[in-house]
Each structure stands twice: as C-alpha cells, then as structure tokens.
Structure 1
C-alpha cells in the first residue's frame, strides 16, 4: 500500500490517494462481478450500480482511517456509510445536462466520497473543478443558495457539450485530476466539485472486466 495526499485548488481541498489498496484486488473484483445481480440506476450516476458485500464497507472505513492518521490528511475519521459497485454505461448522447458538468455529492464537508478503481487507466480517473462564475471549488449548505441559481443560469446561456466533461469549459476550470489505476483508491470531501474524467468519444462497454468498473462509497463520521 502506498499513500499520497494533495491539497487542491485555491480552497485547498484535501484528496487522499491510496495505491495497491486491496490486498487481493483481482479476487475482490471477481467476487464483486459474481454478486452484482440486483442492478439499479441511482441519482445522476451515468450507469448501473449494485450494493457491495458487507465486509467491503468495513475494509474502506479501516483503510481510510489508517491513511488519514498516517498522513495527517484533513479529512474526518469515518465510521459508517454506503458503498456500491458501479459501471458507466451511458453513451455521451444519453447524458442529461447535469451529467455533463461537475457535481458535488452532498453539501457536507464532513462526509467523504470514495472511488476505488477496479479498471485500468484507459477508462479515465477523476477530475476536480472550480465554477468560474462563483469561484467555488466546493459547495456546502451556505453556498448552495448562490451556486445552484448561478449554475442554472449558466446552463441556459452556455449549454454544455453533449459529452462527458474531460477538460476546462466556459463554465468550469479543471484544477486537479487523478488518473485511474487498477486498485487505486481516492477519497475526498463530498462537497468538492468533481466529475469522472472520461475521455472524449467514450463508448460504454457492458462487460465489467472490460468497462469502467469501480466501487464508490459515501462515508460519514
């Protein structure tokens, strides 16, 4: 296991990066695929999800808490949450406007979002953004009142391209990115503006052993 941290953007939001996170990642993926039988769509995620095994949440909580202590990363210790095996399955032409711009998972800086890449670098990692009009790099409850109306106006005036966002645009500036790597895990505040860094011209692959297959989680103190 190798651990890195970063403070990104002007607002110095923390990102935790753990390489070689799971001790038997190939076996974990095999088990995940075999158990992904109840698939569903959830929120704005552009694909299918399935709940993880019970032990996986415990693994995440343990490894992230240890990495936070080891590095002094400015993320809260966590004790509970939900996790999903996830695979991007929507083509660019199927995306809603809000799926073509960065998002925040919750306006709660004390909660953590996690992506555990169970795929290779060709599928793209995760990028973080600054909203140009407001200058916001994260959205908490106090900022929502300004950010959401501003974003709606932006979307009407400058509709985003019918594609996954993968670089700076007139509405958002990309400030940091983490490449995908098999068995790499990243954690960041749920309030950070981010998006999957999916290449231009992406075509979904429905085979989990060939597609953009990850585990995602939302964890709380």
Structure 2
C-alpha cells in the first residue's frame, strides 16, 4: 500500500506571500504518483460526522492511512523548513483525516461561517491535500478588520477573542464564507485542483471556499474530498 502513496518526484511547488504580514503559503501540484489510490481508500473508508451543536468541521471525517501521512510528512519536512525559514526541525506529532464537507449552507453554526485558526502554535502547519477539482472552491486566508490580525499568536489571542465576542452580537451572514464579509477581508486564495497540496501555518486565519454548495456530496468520488494533515515541529 505504501507504494500507492509514494510522492511524485517531479512535484511543482509555488510559494506565495500573502497579506500585510507577508506570510508564506505553499501550493504543490502533482503530489502523489498515484492519487487515485487515496481516493479508492476513501471510497472504502467509514466516515462519521465531525460536527456538533457548537460547530466543528462541517461534514464527515475518516482516519487517513498512516503510510500516506508518514510519506508526506517525512518527504516534505525539509521543504517546509526552507519555505517558512524554520531552520533545522523535526516533526513531533501528526494527525490526519480524510474529510468531506457535506453540511448544507442553511445548517451551519455561526462559527462555521467565519474564518478560524487551528492553533496559536507557530510550529504547527496544516497540509491540505485536494482530492477533488476546481468546482469545489478552494482555501482562502483572511485579515480580521477590527484588530488587523492575519495570524493569531499566543499574545494576540485574548485581544482577538474579545473583539470576536463583541462582534458576535450580530450573527454572521448565512451560508459559507466567500470573499469579504462580516468584518474579514480576504488576503489570498488557493483554488482547489485534484492532487494539489496547500501548506500554511495553522495560526493563519483561513476558511474553506465552498463556491458551489449544490455540488457537496457524501460520495468521496463526487464530493469535496480532502486529506487534512496537521503536523507540529520542534527545532533541532
């Protein structure tokens, strides 16, 4: 099975610098030798809801194959270290899910309609692998207008959360976030493309761009299928 999840030796890497904070984002095309093998794995996987009354991921998730996760993290650690200026690092923790966005726009919790971060840890990164095509939107990055923050660091978290709490009196507009809305300005966007991997710091404000909710499906071969890896590093 590991051979099916081997990385393509001729990946195409694009590095973009976004926002006022000049944060790097990587887009890697042609990640796997055989990306269809991962779709086949997903087609046989047991997906379960990943959301609840307080929000969460707006769809279904299933565990990803460990050999896929290991291959991606081991192979891309040197690239990530160079692109983000980390110096010598080693991965300390990685978790990965196969994910399908399935919630209809009208069923979203208010927190699911706004940009979010995964953690304030500057050494944790999100690796988002698209196993679907352009009709399923992409990933966008945001600036919070009231604070000017694009990354939520440990020393910014209290001010950001206080500002968001003040804004919560006015519920966000219904539906999935696209473009500029509800006090957030889009600073950059990477469109979905089959077998494209997007890498960004987990403290960067971001949101999935669900531009065609009518195309959402619980079928991994038709829906907005991604593999989401969250990897934490430590400096050597």
The verdict on a shared fold, with TM-score over 0.5 as the criterion, is: yes
Q: Against the structure 1 CA distance between its residues 78 and 130, is the aligned structure 2 distance closer, same or farther, given a 3 Å change threshold?
A: farther
TM-score (norm 1): 0.92
Q: Against the structure 1 CA distance between its residues 169 and 116, is the aligned structure 2 distance closer, same or farther, given a 3 Å change threshold?
A: same
Contact kept? 2:133, 2:193, Cα under 8 Å: yes
137, 148, 168: which one aligns with 1:124: 137
Residue segments in structure 1 that go unaligned for 5+ positions in a row: none
Indicate the SS of the match to 1:46: strand
* Runs of 4+ with >4 A deviation: 75-78, 200-203
Q: Residue 102 of structure 2 aligns with which residue? A: 89
Indicate the SS of the match to 1:106: coil
Indicate the SS of the match to 1:208: coil
Q: What's the RMSD between the two structures over aligned residues?
A: 1.6
Q: Against the structure 1 CA distance between its residues 195 and 67, is the aligned structure 2 distance closer, same or farther, given a 3 Å change threshold?
A: same
The alignment status of 1:59 with 2:71, answered yes or no, reads: yes
TM-score (norm 2): 0.87
Q: Distance in 2 between matches of 1:100 and 1:17?
A: 24
Q: Residue 20 of structure 1 aligns with which residue? A: 30
**1:1-221 to 2 correspondences below 5 Å:** 1-34=11-44, 36-37=45-46, 39-41=48-50, 44-68=56-80, 72-74=82-84, 76=86, 77-79=89-91, 80-157=93-170, 159-199=171-211, 201-202=213-214, 204-221=216-233
Residues 43-73 of structure 1, C-alpha deviation per residue, up to 9 Å, x if partnerless? Answer: 611011011111011122123224336xx31
Indicate the SS of the match to 1:67: helix
Indicate the SS of the match to 1:156: coil
Indicate the SS of the match to 2:142: strand
What's the CA shift for 1:78? Answer: 4.6
Q: Distance in 1 between matches of 2:209 and 2:177?
A: 7
| Number of residues of Structure 1 aligned to a counterpart in Structure 2 | 217
Residue segments in structure 2 that go unaligned for 5+ positions in a row: 1-10
What's the CA shift for 1:204? Answer: 2.6
Residues 5-44 of structure 1, C-alpha deviation per residue, up to 9 Å, x if partnerless? Answer: 112100111211110001100112112321x125241561
Higher strand share: 2
Contact kept? 1:110, 1:189, Cα under 8 Å: yes
Indicate the SS of the match to 1:26: helix
Contact kept? 2:28, 2:196, Cα under 8 Å: yes
Q: Distance in 1 between matches of 2:199 and 2:39?
A: 19
